[in-house]
Chain A
Amino acid sequence: MIKTEEAEVLEHPAIKYFRFGAPGNPHIWCEGCGIGQIWYYTAIAIDELGLDPNSVVWVGGSGCTGRMCTYWKYDYMHTLHGRPLGFATGIKLANPDLNVICHMGDGETSAIGGNHLIQTARRNANVTAICVNNYTYGMTGGQYSPTTPIGSLSATSRYGLVEDGFDLCELVTAAGATYVARSTTTNPRPSINFIKKAIQKKGFSFVEIISQCPTFYGRSNKLGDNSIEMMDWMKKTYVRKEQFDKMSAEERQGKKPWGEFVDTERPEVVSALHQLAKTQREAYRG
Chain B
Amino acid sequence: MGNPRLLTGIHLMQGQQACAEGALAAGCNLFAGYPISPATEIAEAMARRLPQAGGIYLQGADELDSLTIVIGSVWGGYKSMTATSGNGICLMQENIGYAAMTETPCVIVDMMRAGPGTGIATKSAQGDIYQVRYGSNGDYSIIALAPESPQEMFDLTVEAFNLSEQYRVPAFILGDEILSNLRERVVIPSEVKVTPRRKPTEKPGEGYKTWAVPEGQWVPPMPAFGEGYHMAVSSFARTADGAPSQAYDVQKEMVGRLWNKVEANADKLTRVEDGFVEDAEVLVVGFGSVARSVKAAVRQARANGLKVGFSRLIGIWPFPDQYVARVGKNVKKVVVAEMNMGRVSREVQRCLGRDTEVILSSKPGVAMHTPVEILDQIRKVM
Could you list which residues of chain A lie within 8 angstroms of chain B, going by C-beta atoms? 19, 21-23, 54-55, 57, 59, 70, 73-80, 83, 86-95, 97-98, 115-116, 119, 269, 273-274, 276-281, 283-286
Contacts and interface: CB of A to CB of B under 8 A. Distances in A.
A93 B95 contact: no
Instruction: Please give me the 4 A-B residue pairs with the lowest Cβ-Cβ distance, nearest first.
Output: A90-B72, A94-B76, A86-B68, A286-B2
Interface of B: 1-4, 29-30, 32, 50-58, 60-62, 64-65, 68-78, 80, 94-95, 98, 204, 206, 224-236, 241, 243-244
Given A54-B228, A86-B69, A119 B61 contact: yes
Contacts of A77: 72, 75, 225, 231, 233-234
Contacts of B226: 54-55, 57, 75, 95, 97-98
A95 B244 CA distance: 27
Nearest to A285: B1
Given A87-B71, A90-B30, A78 B236 contact: yes
Q: For chain A, what secondary structure do more than half of its interface residues adopt (helix, strand, loop), or is it mixed?
A: helix
A276 B236 contact: no
Nearest to B205: A54
28 contacts: A19-B232, A22-B243, A23-B243, A54-B204, A59-B72, A70-B234, A73-B230, A75-B225, A75-B230, A75-B231, A76-B231, A76-B233, A77-B231, A77-B233, A79-B98, A86-B68, A87-B71, A90-B70, A90-B80, A91-B75, A92-B72, A93-B73, A94-B74, A97-B226, A98-B76, A98-B225, A277-B54, A278-B54
Nearest to A56: B226
B52 A80 contact: no
B59 to A, nearest CB: 10
A19 B210 CA distance: 13
A91 B233 contact: no
A257 to B, nearest CB: 30
Contacts of B228: 54
A50 to B, nearest CB: 17
A12 B226 CA distance: 26
Query: Which of B60, B78, B233 gathers the greatest number of chain A CB atoms within 10 Å?
Result: B233
A3 to B, nearest CB: 34
B17 to A, nearest CB: 17
Contacts of B204: 54
Contacts of A280: 51-52, 54
Contacts of A92: 72, 76
